[in-house]
Chains A and B, each alone.
Chain A
């Protein structure tokens, strides 16, 4: 769930939410305390593109109505966010509420920088989807609230596929490969754009194989890249990567794969639904050609494993506005606004009951079948250090793509990987 979410997916919801607002909280609890918050401003960090302007505006209005306090959204970039967040949390005035990636949450929970949200969970979190809430729980305590989730899909160019004479969308991994081969043979387009370090997709393949990136050795975690299941996932990755001319040592953001796809001469790429927006921004004419389908798995019945990216909302332990921050979370995560976010951004909401909101969003509909079989990187505090550049998993991938055997490549990065997992906390 990295980088820029395209906020311009839709402008619906405004009327509905304003209308709903009016009917809401006429005179319920909090009235007495409400005036106590007047004049205060809550600072909320959200990641670039993760919440549309409309959502922010509506939530801010509802928040002000209920608490008389204002909310200030500050947009952050994913790149280098851990370093920035660490510094901010150490300061006198940290952001009161902030968005944090699900795989990063355990490390921050361990630092003591996140406030305990047990009472919030008790109040509004009874029906949060358990698998989505896992990353927020550390040593039995609730340190964050699940916000939204998403996984990758195949984004394809209908024209290129039609030119190659392909009629049906692939149902299995082999069919997918055969279709790409056919594009290669029958058109002059690049069948798939798959850079060597789209490591979130690789994590998805590992999940699909039932593998794990780390294993326990005594009381510490060590690299599990040498596992045959990981090797099998990497072989699948390599097979598809060989059809792409994309650099083997770059990730999907350098250059933005959406931009490459936007040039119109690429059959497909594996990305988040919102990355189609990047392509459209680069080349508006491509919009009508874009289609989505679930990444096909080994068999027709079961989609490919996917990395279940997502974000949680946390309250800074050092914030002086703990109560107000929780009031904000109650509004932002209410069915109304959680549903609105799912609808506008085409992301998976934190409860099953709100899933209906993504109906009609093609990317979200392609995403949904794979979500159930999705997984994440290990949810342990030690993991955060692994993701710091240069990420040894990326190094491993490039090594295999450049001709090393998976076993050799695993051995090559093992020291660095283990060093990071063992890094003093």
Chain B
């Protein structure tokens, strides 16, 4: 998806120009105009299935969620099919409580740390891929694809076992290495150690996407540019900053943007590893929405938190959206 976004940005002339040209040519003859009208409809027809799926699977639940967020909906109301509108009460309760703000801040910090780590390590692995010989590159690629292909729940469960207190292999290894106080260390009993496990898991899962994307990006850089740079006396660092980086920049934007979305809504990892515990200290917004809404069967409240989560995510990604929109304007 990232590479698609990027490629539409890069060619200076889009499909719009082509169609303009066709209109000019065809303006004289009626048969051709009809044909071109049908042709103009074509793209919309092709878009229809995707739009329908989006409206059905994303739009409709979103509308329902917004409607629910203005209702008092608990066990009794759900079972008896009673609709109790309560205006903005849910929002008022969420926004005036300190829990929500604490969780929001935590979510943003959590996302920031994970995105920075993922992008740094992912970019390094991507550059490594570009430099490796054929066989090593293939081996690394296979490793990355396997990590990427692992289902999230399965990966989370494996990490749970790795870091289990009594029978986990991580504690066993640390103990064998001489760090005996770690033999029975409980990773899930403090906020930071739980976040540590979740972060290792998420970064491990996200690196392949970033690395492979960036590796793909480096293959588009013409080698002549490096030759020219070295003729001008540029060293390795200089040619990296002046040649490689400018080419990678749109890729980096797009990948960072996707990583922010992906990590911000990393419900499964956080929930599976420790259920948002200990003592609700590792709940991020989606987990908080689930525990308040579904877990506590306080559905209206959960819906309100979900709506607010979407708004916050939109805010966080607004910067990137602006860049994309601006670029498209420039192209027109």
Residues of A within 8 A of B (CB): 82-83, 86-87, 89-90, 107-108, 110-113, 245-250, 255, 318, 384-385, 388-390, 395, 398-399, 402, 412-413, 416, 420, 423-425
B278 contacts which chain A residues (CB < 8 A)?
249, 390, 395, 398
B298 contacts which chain A residues (CB < 8 A)?
423-424
Inter-chain CA distance A111–B297, complex, in Å, is: 12
The answer on a CB contact under 8 Å between B279 and A395 is: yes
B111 within 8 Å of A (CB atoms): no
The answer on a CB contact under 8 Å between A425 and B296 is: no
The answer on a CB contact under 8 Å between A83 and B297 is: yes
Chain B facing A: main interface SS: loop
The answer on a CB contact under 8 Å between A389 and B186 is: no
A113 contacts which chain B residues (CB < 8 A)?
75, 79-80
Top-9 shortest CB links A-B = A111-B76, A113-B79, A249-B189, A89-B79, A90-B78, A247-B165, A111-B75, A111-B79, A90-B79
Cβ-closest chain A residue relative to B76: A111
Which among A247, A399, A402, A425 is the interface contact of B75 at CB below 8 angstroms?
A425
Which among B74, B184, B291 is the interface contact of A245 at CB below 8 angstroms?
B184
Which among A112, A318, A402 is the interface contact of B76 at CB below 8 angstroms?
A112
The answer on a CB contact under 8 Å between B295 and A388 is: yes
17 contacts between A and B (CB under 8 A): A86-B79, A90-B80, A90-B81, A113-B75, A245-B184, A248-B189, A249-B188, A249-B189, A249-B277, A255-B164, A388-B297, A389-B275, A413-B279, A423-B296, A423-B298, A424-B74, A425-B74
B75 contacts which chain A residues (CB < 8 A)?
86, 107-108, 111, 113, 384, 425
Inter-chain CA distance A90–B74, complex, in Å, is: 11
The answer on a CB contact under 8 Å between A112 and B80 is: yes
Most chain B beta-carbon neighbours within 10 Å: one of A83, A90, A112, A424: A424
A399 contacts which chain B residues (CB < 8 A)?
279
Cβ-closest chain B residue relative to A316: B79
Cβ-closest chain B residue relative to A263: B167
A86 contacts which chain B residues (CB < 8 A)?
75, 78-79, 297
CB distance from B298 to the nearest CB of A (A): 6
Inter-chain CA distance A258–B314, complex, in Å, is: 48
Inter-chain CA distance A86–B78, complex, in Å, is: 7
Other CB < 8 Å A-B pairs besides A247-B186, A390-B278, 11 of them?
Answer: A86-B75, A86-B79, A112-B79, A248-B186, A248-B189, A249-B186, A388-B295, A389-B295, A390-B279, A424-B298, A425-B75
CB distance from A420 to the nearest CB of B (A): 7
The answer on a CB contact under 8 Å between A247 and B76 is: no
The answer on a CB contact under 8 Å between B189 and A398 is: yes
A388 contacts which chain B residues (CB < 8 A)?
291, 295-297
A412 contacts which chain B residues (CB < 8 A)?
279
The answer on a CB contact under 8 Å between A245 and B166 is: yes
The answer on a CB contact under 8 Å between B80 and A111 is: yes
Which among A112, A402, A420 is the interface contact of B296 at CB below 8 angstroms?
A420
Inter-chain CA distance A86–B81, complex, in Å, is: 12
B294 within 8 Å of A (CB atoms): yes
Which among B167, B186, B296 is the interface contact of A385 at CB below 8 angstroms?
B296
Inter-chain CA distance A89–B297, complex, in Å, is: 13
